[in-house]
Chains A and B, each alone.
Chain A
């Protein structure tokens, strides 16, 4: 289990070793063909900042070699904003007096109609974390309902048990995204004071449960803006390294959400500059040529336009982050403010202008059918 590896690393020592990396550590890392975790530290260190262009060049080149001149398109579908957690940074925080909604079957299908008309075939289902209204049976039903319409169904919901993930895979689920938010164990309770999410280790071991359940793909990452992003990102790489070796039949993706202003009062503790985000994306790519890197509409147009060439492999567009947002309900409060409100069509055009082919379908539900028969 990852817990054992995690516990053998001390946050402050990791942080100190990242900040101690030198120019020559960075140059060694950029020029190596297979990088280790120490090389990754060099690439995310302050010492790497003068090498950003070189990192970008390598990242661009190896991404094209692996993924070709293509960009995977996906869209989130928010099913519920009910949440029993009190994450201080999140719009769905149980303490926020907002209109709560969990979509019915009929409402889900209304959303589907709009999303399909936008061209999407890969969908990401999102909920707050509330087992009573959006637990296993609700999620299973949602996957069952959506399966005829989408080739590829992902999920970003509360952490579940292994057998629950197995049931969802049987139903047709392809991937699960779950972010640790921060690996700073001491400060974690500060952001997650109540609810099931306050259990740091239960969340930490979720990917082990996903791996055992043989989920096709799992996503990981942190929420940038809580703690030192360099140290937190090292733990993402450490986690990835462990997962790839342990659950070698699964695919992996990383996201790098940066905290944005929202209707609560929380402001980021740590500001990550754009050039630092670029550094992190390139570092992930150079460290792991096969990892999928996913970019949401949290970032603004200009940055997204430029990030397309730097290592990102999947993007969303035209996203709504509130349940019912596509077809009906503008009132239910959104999770975060979308910074890039271009439509899927506009994004498609931009991707083509950048010399990439937008890919709408890269999976077939038939492949899940056999899996579920086993």
Chain B
């Protein structure tokens, strides 16, 4: 038995869970932003920035998923994965999967507040934006962990 199933599972976990986090985050931010835009459509640019901030988790998850597919050889390779390697891919994906899921939702909440603050006074935009990116670091750390492990797996003697 080889580890293809687990490698695919890993790619799916990374992409789906982080994607859910971003989707929820961007979704709630977009709802609020549209409320603001219905009052004052000139703030579209600022609202767009704040709305898109929780979107990076999904990208990170997607990249880890993609790298798993590439490094396991599923895309244009021999797909020669041992069982232990497959399980390792699945394990590596958990970091960005769950990190992305929860940080995406949390960042979405922060973005909602940032949007409300910017709506009150446009000068608050940069402060809001920076505060929202504070959440990002945790998604980033999760991403780096997943990434470093995924890249190492083909070289591991397992």
Do A and B make up one complex? no
Chain A interface residues (CB < 8 Å from chain B): none
